[in-house]
Amino acid sequence: MLKRENELRLSQAVQKRFEEAERSGSKTDWIEVATQVQLEVLKEFNVAESALHAYRCAANKHGLSLYVKY
């Protein structure tokens, strides 16, 4: 799932979403886009959206999240 999330984050479409979010000023920011991407990954893997917190914690706990490590 983390590999898939990374693929999506690096895709042109998601990079554009990050850019648009940051340009929107106070309307939205990158963390909202990241959350949307993570929810898309959970859905793709048939995992309930309510597992988002557990998904984030597991990635952080085991040092697997590229975005936390760097």
Distance CA(49)–CA(59), nearest Å, equals: 16
Q: What's the pTM?
A: 0.83
Average pLDDT score, the chain:
87
Q: Is the Cβ–Cβ distance between 9 and 16 less than 8 Å?
A: no
- Continuous H helices in the chain: 2-10, 12-23, 30-44, 52-61, 66-69
For 4-22, what is each residue's pLDDT tens digit?
998 999 999 999 999 999 8
Nearest Cα neighbor of 1 from 61, 47, 57 is: 47
